[in-house]
Amino acid sequence: TYKMADSMILSLTGSGKPARLIHPAGRRRLLIGVAAVIAPILIVLGIMSVRMFGDRSIEPLVANEIVVTSGKGEILQVVLPDSTLVWLHPGSELKYVDDFSKERKLDLKGKAFFQVRHDSGRDFRVSTKDMDVSVLGTEFFCHCYEGSEFSSVTLHSGNVNVNVAGQEKILN
């Protein structure tokens, strides 16, 4: 009987008294039966969750802000996430987020030349202390040093929309 007791598993009820002995073969059949019931439920739930949430992309909670500062006598070339090229002139600062999937927006203090990669679905915007410049694909200079009495935009090619104190002007 010791061999038989060793090959059986003792199942206890909540009261701590032996309820019944379950033979390993019976336990295996019980587990297979439970798995046969649970597996189709899990498959259906998986298919439903893919259909409900499959089209949604996972986005990071916080985009990283990038700050690029050029020193005195230094011109930096910056490649933005959308492949736009920026030449940041001495004593200038450029701020932007590393994710351009929703919008292409930058903050500029100082002077920079922009060679904007065309993207008809998203405007490219440069904000300064005095103005906002919006473009789709063009090349232009933006001059707006701190302490300067004025800011300026010099168009090299394409079109830009300049907004100064609520007044818009299109340069082409």
* Tens-digit pLDDT profile for residues 6-55: 444 444 444 555 555 556 666 677 778 878 888 888 888 877 776 666 55
Is the pLDDT at 161 greater than 80, yes or no? Answer: yes
- pLDDT score of 107 more than 70: yes
Residue with tokens 């033979």: 23
Is the CB of residue 126 less than 8 Å from the CB of residue 108?
yes
Reported as type and span, the H/E element at residue 52 is: helix 24-53
Asked if residue 126 lies in contact with residue 86, where contact means CB atoms within 8 angstroms, the answer is no
Q: β-strand 124-127 against 131-135: which pairing, if any? A: antiparallel
53 contact partners, CB below 8 Å, separation of at least 6: none
pLDDT category at 1 given cuts 50, 70, 90 is: very low
Residue (of 141, 129, 128) closest to 171 by Cα position: 141
Whether the CB-CB separation of 128 and 122 falls below 8 Å is answered with no
Alpha-carbon dihedral angle through residues 89, 90, 96, 102, given to the nearest 10 degrees: 0
